Structure 1
């Protein structure tokens, strides 16, 4: 585990596809730790246990589902959370405890933003850290790629170009300090941005979509 901020940790990288790097991120707080995305690395789960375990695991979309979900739930007894439109694809791996039907602020102060486009139920999460940064977890809706940012529409999973662009414009107003994707291509998934830089990233992504 690599500590990025006082309350945020990154698991070791995994490579599900050629050129693609993924991580999970543990947000530590007194009201219960939150795990964003997923990891199947046993040593990292032991580190997560050392850091206080997991109260909630947040998935941004179905591509983060797999056998590790059941392992994590068995180890930590956590709640698994995802959007209603991703339930069918994810529930084959583990029981889902919290289903998002709309935007919300969860008991652990994680803000849920529904952002369809990559898949039908793609979801982003915002957390305002008491240590200062405003984190935006984007899943695969938008991700660092080489010297820019990429997007991908998975039409077989209900993704649509129109809704992707609408979701990107929604994220334009978030003004994050740190953007954390679930995957990246030849570049770190964790990017510090200013408000102006982030708006420019979104505008360029929409123009290319």
Structure 2
């Protein structure tokens, strides 16, 4: 846990030391900052791909961990469409599953 209630969520497999950040606001909304770990693109969700099987396996596990979180808003860094999306728990579970498929 970081100051101001921000939780670092390690995301191994993406890059060395990679993390996403979860913030539960005092106004009842939860925000997940994913950077370029997972992002919305053209009406779907995507992730990076790697040639290295070990990296892909670790990345897939990281996406599995992210799927257990319940953000209300996901903010990313590289979306060609937009950099944030409001999302329901079911939509988030589907988004992480879709991103995992890209790693297969």
Residue 101 (structure 2) pairs with residue 207 (structure 1): yes
Q: Tell me whether 1:111 sits opposite 2:16 in the alignment.
A: no
The answer to whether structure 1 residue 182 and structure 2 residue 77 are counterparts is yes
Higher relative contact order (CA 8 A, sep 6+): 2
TM-score of the pair, normalised by structure 1: 0.46
Equivalents in 2 of 1:123, 1:192: separation in Å? Answer: 20
Q: Which runs of 5+ in 2 are unaligned?
A: none
| Counterpart pick for 2:32 among 125, 133, 136 | 136
Tell me the alpha carbon deviations over residues 62-95 of structure 1, each in whole angstroms, 9 at most, x when there is no partner.
Answer: xxxxxxxxxxxxxxxxxxxxxxxxxxxxxxxxxx
Correspondence list, 1:35-184, <5 A:
105-153=1-49, 160-184=55-79
Larger Rg: 1
Partner in structure 2 of residue 30 of structure 1: none
Partner residue in 2 for 1:62: none
Structure 1: runs of 5 or more not aligned: 1-104
Superposed CA RMSD in Å reads 1.8
Higher fraction of helix? 2
Contact 1:153 1:160 in 2 (8 A): no
